[in-house]
């Protein structure tokens, strides 16, 4: 597939802020075994967990500009993915998480969603650093982090075992070339 074929196939994607009305779609996406394999401690998330994350993202969006965006394709109301920036325990840091429907894997959408969110974070005067982490076996997430120009930050221990965090600072060069941004609507 040529780059122009891929661009045409991926045209029409957009990110929009999550609302309480998105609970069912996001919960359904999170309950796909290939999605929760490395997320939600390898078990389907409860509806309440997803509802709480959406509610917190709405608060965060209003307070800090951080939040949760859903990936949608024009003409479809189905949630194809999600990217979230939320407060990290260190000052001036945000934690990046993302998930994508497996039918869209391998098309660069994870990197594009994440880069769009990171770009938004660095527009905020409150965020200088973005951190993302993954379990060691999650090769796809590590590939996305490296594609974004993130560097190894530290080894961590997650409920499922060993993992690592990667970091990108505002003054870092970032990815070369940068992934195409997904329009925010």
Evaluate whether residue 103 is within a structural domain. Answer: yes
Using CB atoms within 10 A of its CB, is residue 10 exposed (0-12), middle (13-18) or buried (19+)? middle
Residue 137, domain CATH: 3.40.630.30
Evaluate whether residue 77 is within a structural domain. Answer: yes
- State residue 74's pLDDT score: 82
Q: What element of type H or E holds 14? A: strand 13-17
- State residue 10's pLDDT score: 59
Contact 94, 88 (CB under 8 A): yes
- Residue 9's SS3 state is helix
The percentage of the chain sitting over the pLDDT mark of 90, rounded to a whole number, equals: 78
- State residue 2's pLDDT score: 46
- State residue 5's pLDDT score: 41
- Residue 184's SS3 state is strand
What's the number of domains the chain is made of? Answer: 1
48-103 tens-digit pLDDT = 999 999 999 999 888 888 999 999 998 787 899 999 999 999 999 999 999 999 99
Contact 144, 179 (CB under 8 A): no
Evaluate whether residue 148 is within a structural domain. Answer: yes
CA distance 135 to 142: 9
28-53 tens-digit pLDDT = 999 999 999 989 989 999 999 999 99
Evaluate whether residue 174 is within a structural domain. Answer: no
pLDDT at 107 over 60: yes
Evaluate whether residue 182 is within a structural domain. Answer: no
Evaluate whether residue 19 is within a structural domain. Answer: yes
More confident residue, 10 or 125: 125
Evaluate whether residue 140 is within a structural domain. Answer: yes
Q: Are strands 129-135 and 161-169 parallel, antiparallel or unpaired?
A: antiparallel
CA distance 15 to 13: 7
Evaluate whether residue 181 is within a structural domain. Answer: no
Q: What's the pTM? A: 0.91
Nearest alpha-carbon partner for 111 in 121, 100, 124: 100
- State residue 143's pLDDT score: 95
Which domain range does residue 107 map to? 3-169
């Amino acid at each position: 597939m040529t780059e122009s074929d891929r661009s045409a196939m991926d045209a029409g994607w957009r990110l929009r802020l999550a609302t309480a009305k998105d609970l069912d779609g996001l919960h359904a996406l999170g309950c796909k075994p290939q999605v929760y394999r490395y997320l939600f401690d390898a078990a389907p998330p409860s509806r309440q967990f997803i509802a709480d994350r959406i509610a917190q993202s709405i608060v965060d969006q209003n307070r800090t500009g951080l939040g949760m965006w859903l990936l949608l394709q024009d003409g479809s109301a189905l949630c194809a993915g999600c990217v979230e920036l939320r407060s990290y325990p260190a000052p001036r840091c945000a934690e990046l998480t993302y998930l994508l429907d497996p039918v869209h894997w391998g098309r660069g959408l994870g990197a594009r969603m994440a880069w769009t969110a990171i770009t938004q974070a660095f527009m905020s005067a409150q965020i200088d650093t973005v951190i993302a982490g993954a379990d060691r076996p999650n090769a796809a997430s590590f590939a996305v982090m490296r594609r974004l120009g993130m560097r190894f930050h530290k080894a961590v221990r997650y409920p499922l075992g060993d993992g690592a965090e990667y970091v990108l600072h505002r003054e870092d060069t970032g990815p070369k070339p940068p992934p195409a941004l997904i329009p925010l609507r």
